[in-house]
Every structure is written in C-alpha cells, then in structure tokens.
Amino acid sequence: MKTLTSQTIDTLKMRINQGNLKTGDKLPALNELAAELGVSRTVVREAVAALRSDGLLEARHGVGVFVSEPKELTTTDGSDSLLEPLAKLTTSFMDLLELRMAFEVHAAGLAATRRSWSQEAKIWDALKQFELSLDNEELLDQLDFVFHRSIAEATNNAAFIEFFSVMSLKILPQPAFSSELNPALITSEYIQNTVIEHRAICEAISAGDADQAREAMRAHLARSHRRYRGFSGNFASPLSNISPDAP
C-alpha cells in the first residue's frame, strides 16, 4: 500500500499530465491543497518537494510554487549526457558488479545523511511494493530497480543520479528474479533474503546511520557477487548462465 506522500505525488502528477495543472499555473496554498486532498500540510509539503526534485514544479521566492516548463528527458542509454561514454564500456560483467559495489555502497551512505522526507518515503514505498509483489517475478525486477534508483536519487548528488541513469542497465542484472530461468537459484528463501536485506538498508538510511547504510548495502551486493561468480558473459546476465550451485 502506498504512503500518503506517494499517493499525493501521484495525484499531483496526474493533474499535471492530464492538463488540469498547466505549465505556469500556480499551486494552491498548502492549507488548501491539504484540505482538498484530505492529508496533512506535512504530506503536501513533502510531495511538492519531491516534484520539485523531479523538475515538475518550481518555487519562486515570495510568490509560490508553479508548474515547470516541460524539459526534454535524457534517456537511460546515456544519450544527451556528458556521461555517455560510460554507457559504451566494454568490460566483463563481474567488473561491472565491482563498479556497482563501489557506487551503491557510497550512495547508501550519502542517502542516510542527505535524504529528504519525501525521498525516504519513496525508498520505503519501493520496499513495501516489493514485499507485496513476491509472486510476480517480472514486477520484482522493476521494483528492485526502483528501490536502487530511489537510493541514488536520495544522495541529492546530480552526478550520482546521472551515473545511475546512464549505467543502470549495465550494473543491475536483468532479469534478476526469474525462477523459470534458474529454479535452483531463485527460490522463495532467496527472495525473502532480498526483502530482509532491502529492509536493513531502509532502516539504516532512516536512522541517518551512514556507516550502517554502507554496510547493509555492501552485504546485499556481496551476495550478488557470490551469486554471479562463474558467470561467463560480458554484458547481459541471463540467469540460465549462472551455476545452480552458486550460494
């Protein structure tokens, strides 16, 4: 179940996408929005902060919050990005896993000290949606991606966010939860362990404990290293190529 903040974000996004709120329109006051949506001022404030972070809203000092001019989005393949050359790396899959370890462990520590309330809520929401979707392997892949992307966003470091956008298709193996491709590896116990590890990361970030957040992420990704040891491909990561004896 989505948090009130996530529901409020979705509602405001829908109004913008459907044209009920147009570019240049001023948002109602916090009190008015809170009363209209049946939530607290704090929830509305967090939702607005998240949409400002996404570039959908902009604050004008002393005037109010307005719907932003639509911006052309960069694509996840690295086009229109200064980091585009990284997307063309030709290196082994295990090398990329080590790169992921260095990047995401540090990102978890930054998220613990820099995340906003709305960003923290987004990370928890990704975890909760993952927990509610344990029987849908295809959806688990998507939600795992959202979980790790939310942590990158919570660093509030533009370079980290852009790096994840450019490199995510390489450093996050897909599919990651296919029991059809490897029934000996992707078991109920394996998925439950992923939930436990994700929760440990969430709790450390919420506690503002950077050291524990880094350690929780390191432990989570170390299991991926053990899982993919012996993988022989370069870029893709079909689970059918993973040894069934992998821990």
Cis? peptide before 244, omega within 30° of 0: no
pLDDT value for 228? 62
Report pLDDT for 2.
63
Angle between helical axes of 137-153 and 188-206 (0-180°, round to 10)? 20
* Contacts (Cβ under 8 Å, ≥6 apart) of 103: 160, 163, 164, 167, 171
Class of domain 84-241: mainly alpha
Query: What is the pTM (predicted TM-score) of this model?
Result: 0.59
Tokens standing for 123? 């990370």
Contacts of residue 61, defined as CB under 8 A and 6 or more positions apart, other chains included, come to: none
Domain ranges of the chain: 4-67, 84-241
- Tell me the mean pLDDT per 10 residues along the chain, length 247: 78 83 89 90 83 79 81 44 55 73 93 91 91 80 87 90 76 65 71 92 96 95 70 39 38
CATH of domain 4-67: 1.10.10.10
Task: Give me the pLDDT at residue 200, please.
Answer: 96
Query: Residue 196's pLDDT is what?
Result: 94
